[in-house]
């Protein structure tokens, strides 16, 4: 047994150096150096030498996966049941995003250069120097690596407390900051009046899957133009998660402050449920979806943890507009909303309707059209959805009843992706995924509406509940109060977002993430 050069294994490390340089992966120096040390040992017996390369190949794959930004294996196994529902076409589409043509071409160039120059360059020396350089620079200085737990510039402020401000003590760790945030949020509750003061009005909530500010920028659509006919527009609304089920629960529990991900899946005080608060005032609630709600038990989550026990509107006879990533039918938004107006909206006075649409979800295919990449079809699907919503608004206006209409996206589609997550991956609730556009429109003949009110500060679900409560207390639809008064002193919210095992939070104006309870690290930007 003796030491030798790494041979062809140098190519593995050179490729990883390149990926690390461009921020495509992280790089754990210790595990990679251990792998290099193992591969540098040359055994006298050929059997041991072959076994070394087999083990080296296994370890190389494991270490590369750990260094990548892909979700941990244990999290993938938990999602195995959902992944099995993916269609073959969607699997192929996702694979094409992970392994791009540019990546394959770059690997080809590196391989040819390595092969050509290996005759006179000692690549093992280059690999060792590369490992030493990365180790010398320190993993903590690279994007996405562990940060100092104690952050600076966090002091107690002698200012009035509002929901946009997390009061912290000097040298707090991110965990302590997060605890303070949830502690402050636990004191927030909307106080609804005992009766509607003024004219009755319907409350309609359109919960849209996969539409963030970043997605709109990617397809060249501005928030102002998209909601040009709405009264109040939120340009930095925090969805607080990047998955549909938790997002819907958070919206339906908007009457209390933001809770942790774990708390979503346990019972909450009755006053936290937005629709239950409306039902106490005589509202008749209904659930409408343009999909069957079976994926990830979305329908069950809305029922059990969102406080909506109503059976969803039957849409089986309506026209199918798309097919989802699991080949399930997705019905026309316009047809579904019109069906609710004709079949259920006539019998409730007032109505409280929750609508969920997956028309913009990743992997969808337009019905009766040739297969398209879901990223390419997104602008078409977005235009169709907006057209259906605008037609729905026109039908509401023709009906002549007072309506408070809210459009609230669940999360973004991650159309562009970033260094950490390829396009469509939403495992980490990054700022570009959870920053969504929300809007409110008041429909009624006597509503005083002068111009679009743009809310640019970070807000979240509790602000929506507060606006609903204020609208119930004042006679906005009778013309005795302006919409501008409803958004005065609107509660703000720091951008904290959470998925199962993953938390994103801003520290000193930079996004940081925590994965599976481990150390906090800066989220790579750019």
Cα(387)–Cα(321) distance, integer angstroms: 13
What b/e readout covers 261-299, taking b as 16+ CB neighbours within 10 angstroms? beebeeebeebbbbbbbbeeeebbbbbbbbbbbebeebb
Inform me whether the pLDDT recorded for 159 exceeds 80: no
Mean pLDDT, all residues of the chain = 87
More confident residue, 461 or 93: 461
Q: What phi, psi does 3 have (nearest 5°)?
A: -95, 145
Say whether the peptide bond before residue 425 is cis (omega within 30 degrees of 0).
Answer: no
Are the beta carbons of 32 and 131 closer than 8 angstroms?
yes
SS3 at position 34: helix
Closest CA to 285 of 298, 270, 303, 264: 303
267: left (phi over 0), alpha (psi -120 to 50) or beta: beta
Cα(257)–Cα(497) distance, integer angstroms: 13
Closest CA to 429 of 515, 506, 498, 520: 498
- Of the listed ranges 117-121, 194-198, 488-492, the one predicted with least confidence: 117-121
- Name, in order, each residue with C-beta under 8 angstroms of 216's C-beta and a sequence gap of 6 or more: 222, 223, 226, 437
Question: pTM of the entire structure?
Answer: 0.84
If you average pLDDT over each of 81-90, 196-205, 247-256, 477-486, which comes out highest?
A: 247-256
CA distances from 262 to 88, 253, 499 (A): 33, 14, 9
Average pLDDT over residues 138-161: 40
The pLDDT tens digits of the residues spanning 330-379 come to 999 999 999 999 999 988 889 999 999 999 999 999 999 998 988 899 99
pLDDT at 397: 94
Residue 205 C-beta-side C-alpha neighbours within 13 Å = 24
Three-point CA angle 342, 479, 255, nearest 5°: 65
pLDDT at 478: 87
Three-point CA angle 325, 326, 331, nearest 5°: 80
Cα(447)–Cα(237) distance, integer angstroms: 25
> Which secondary-structure segment (H or E) carries 94?
helix 88-98
Cα(414)–Cα(63) distance, integer angstroms: 26
- Name, in order, each residue with C-beta under 8 angstroms of 100's C-beta and a sequence gap of 6 or more: none
Q: Which two tokens stand for residue 522?
A: 């800066």
Residue 100 C-beta-side C-alpha neighbours within 13 Å = 8
Average pLDDT over residues 229-234: 96
Are the beta carbons of 430 and 420 closer than 8 angstroms?
yes
Report which DSSP code applies to 157: -
More confident residue, 515 or 384: 384
Average pLDDT over residues 245-255: 98
- Name, in order, each residue with C-beta under 8 angstroms of 401's C-beta and a sequence gap of 6 or more: 201, 202, 443, 444
The pLDDT tens digits of the residues spanning 273-315 come to 999 999 999 999 999 999 999 988 999 999 999 999 888 999 9
Cα(151)–Cα(166) distance, integer angstroms: 14
pLDDT at 458: 94
E strands, 348-495, are 351-357, 365-366, 403-409, 435-443, 453-455
pLDDT at 266: 95
pLDDT at 291: 97
Are the beta carbons of 337 and 355 closer than 8 angstroms?
yes
Q: How far is CA 404 from the centre of its chain?
A: 26
Question: Please, what is the angle between helix 9-21 and helix 101-117, to 10°?
Answer: 130
SS3 at position 497: strand
Inform me whether the pLDDT recorded for 226 exceeds 90: yes
Cα(37)–Cα(6) distance, integer angstroms: 9
Average pLDDT over residues 184-192: 96
Inform me whether the pLDDT recorded for 153 exceeds 90: no
């Amino acid at each position: 047994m003796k030491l030798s050069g790494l041979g062809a294994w140098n190519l593995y490390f050179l490729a990883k150096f390149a990926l690390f340089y461009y921020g495509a992966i992280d790089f754990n120096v210790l595990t990679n150096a251990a792998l290099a040390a193992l591969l540098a040992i040359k055994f006298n017996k050929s059997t041991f030498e072959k076994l070394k390369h087999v083990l080296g190949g296994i370890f190389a794959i494991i270490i590369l996966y750990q260094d990548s930004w892909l979700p941990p294996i244990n999290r993938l196994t938990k999602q195995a049941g959902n992944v099995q529902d993916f269609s073959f076409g969607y699997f192929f589409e996702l694979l094409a995003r992970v392994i791009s043509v540019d990546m394959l071409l770059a690997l080809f160039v590196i391989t040819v250069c390595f092969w050509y120059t290996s005759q006179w360059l000692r690549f093992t020396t280059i690999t060792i120097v590369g490992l030493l350089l990365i180790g010398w620079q320190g993993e903590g200085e690279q994007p996405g690596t562990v940060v100092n737990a104690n952050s600076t510039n966090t002091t107690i402020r002698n200012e009035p407390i509002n929901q946009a401000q997390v009061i912290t003590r000097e040298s707090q760790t991110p965990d302590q900051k997060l605890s303070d945030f949830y502690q402050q949020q636990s004191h927030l509750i909307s106080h609804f009046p005992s009766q509607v003061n003024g004219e009755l009005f319907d409350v309609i909530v359109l919960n849209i899957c996969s539409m963030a500010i970043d997605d709109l920028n990617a397809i060249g659509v501005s928030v102002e133009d998209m909601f040009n006919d709405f009264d109040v527009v939120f340009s930095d609304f925090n969805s607080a998660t990047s998955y549909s089920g938790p997002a819907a629960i958070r919206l339906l529990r908007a009457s209390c402050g933001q809770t942790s991900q774990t708390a979503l899946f346990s019972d909450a005080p009755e006053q936290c449920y937005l629709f239950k608060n409306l039902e106490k005032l005589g509202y008749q609630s209904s659930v409408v979806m343009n999909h069957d709600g079976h994926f990830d038990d979305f329908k069950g989550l809305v029922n059990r943890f969102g406080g909506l026990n109503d059976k969803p509107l039957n849409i089986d006879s309506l026209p199918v507009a798309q097919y989802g990533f699991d080949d399930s039918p997705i019905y026309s938004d316009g047809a579904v909303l019109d069906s609710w107006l004709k079949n259920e909206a006539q019998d409730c006075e007032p109505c409280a309707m929750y609508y969920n649409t997956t028309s913009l979800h990743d992997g969808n295919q337009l019905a009766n059209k040739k297969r398209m990449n879901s990223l390419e079809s997104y602008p078409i699907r977005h235009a169709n959805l907006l057209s259906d919503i605008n037609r729905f608004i026109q039908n509401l206006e023709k009906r002549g009843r007072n309506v408070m209409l809210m459009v609230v996206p669940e999360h973004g589609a991650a159309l562009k992706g970033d260094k950490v997550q390829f396009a469509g991956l939403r495992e980490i609730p990054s700022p570009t995924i959870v920053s969504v556009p929300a809007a409110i429109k008041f429909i009624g003949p006597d509503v005083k509406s002068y111009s679009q009110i743009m809310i640019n500060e970070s807000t979240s679900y509790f602000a929506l509940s507060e606006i609903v409560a204020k609208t119930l207390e004042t006679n906005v639809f009778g013309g005795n109060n302006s919409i501008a008064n409803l958004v005065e002193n609107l509660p703000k919210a720091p951008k904290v977002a959470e998925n199962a095992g993953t938390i994103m939070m801003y520290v000193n104006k930079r996004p940081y993430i925590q994965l599976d309870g481990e150390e906090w690290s800066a989220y790579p930007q750019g």
